[in-house]
Amino acid sequence: MSQSSLSAACRFAVGVCLAALVAHTWLVMGLIVPVTVAGSSMAPTLSGPHRVYRCDACHDAFSIELDQASPEMVAICPRCGKLSAETVSGDLQGDRLLVDRTAFAFRAPRRWEVVVFRSPEDAGKLCVKRVVGLPGETVALDGSDVLIDGRRVAGPGNFDYETRYGDNRELRTGWRLGPGEYFVLGDNAEISDDSRSWPTGPALDVKLLIGKPLGVR
């Protein structure tokens, strides 16, 4: 290879690296550094580290999130309710996401949209949840129902969003979101750390939003 060809190849390689870095920084997160789901708060929509089982009784395959797995390595089949100890796989990593950082550059998040944001408790930690309450709305939780400005709203799945012990008590009567504030919940609501339980309060500031998942790698 001539010196000019080598120089051109080096410039091309540098250009590709710079383009990938710019894309990762400003356009799509997860191209270079993996964005991996670390917990089960959005299961079954998104999976964290998990293990796949096969039911001894009905032979149906199902997965169990590791942060909810039994130390005895047994699981309850969601189809027939029988205990199963047969594993199909070892421990698998969580879903790897591509995050569209431009998703909310020209529009606001919509209700029931899945979003990625920096944790209000730790800005160095990324979270993924579902938008439930929008700026200016009053959000309340009545049993397993979500009330927006006093009216029940139906989500995209059969998610039980009731308040738990230690959750913000004001959500039972209603929490008013300010301008640029959102209320977010995890699909696996029983164990999700979300707007119901944050010590900083139920509101997610729009400044913490990063984007929305494009898909799973």
Q: What is the pLDDT of residue 193?
A: 94
Per-state percent for the chain, helix, strand, coil, to nearest 5: 15, 30, 55
> pLDDT tens digits for 192-208?
999 999 999 999 999 99
Contact criterion met (CB below 8 Å) for 212 and 129: no
Per the listing, tokens 């919509």 go with 110
pLDDT digits (tens, 9 = 90+) for 49-88: 988 988 888 988 888 888 887 777 788 888 898 888 778 8
Task: List, for residues 142-190, the tens digit of each pLDDT value.
Answer: 988 899 999 999 888 778 888 899 999 999 999 999 999 999 999 999 8
State the Cα–Cα distance between residues 201 and 183, nearest whole angstrom.
10
Q: What is the pLDDT of residue 207?
A: 96
Quote the pTM value.
0.81
* The two structure tokens encoding residue 205: 């500031």
Burial of 106 (0-12, 13-18, 19+ CB in 10 A): exposed
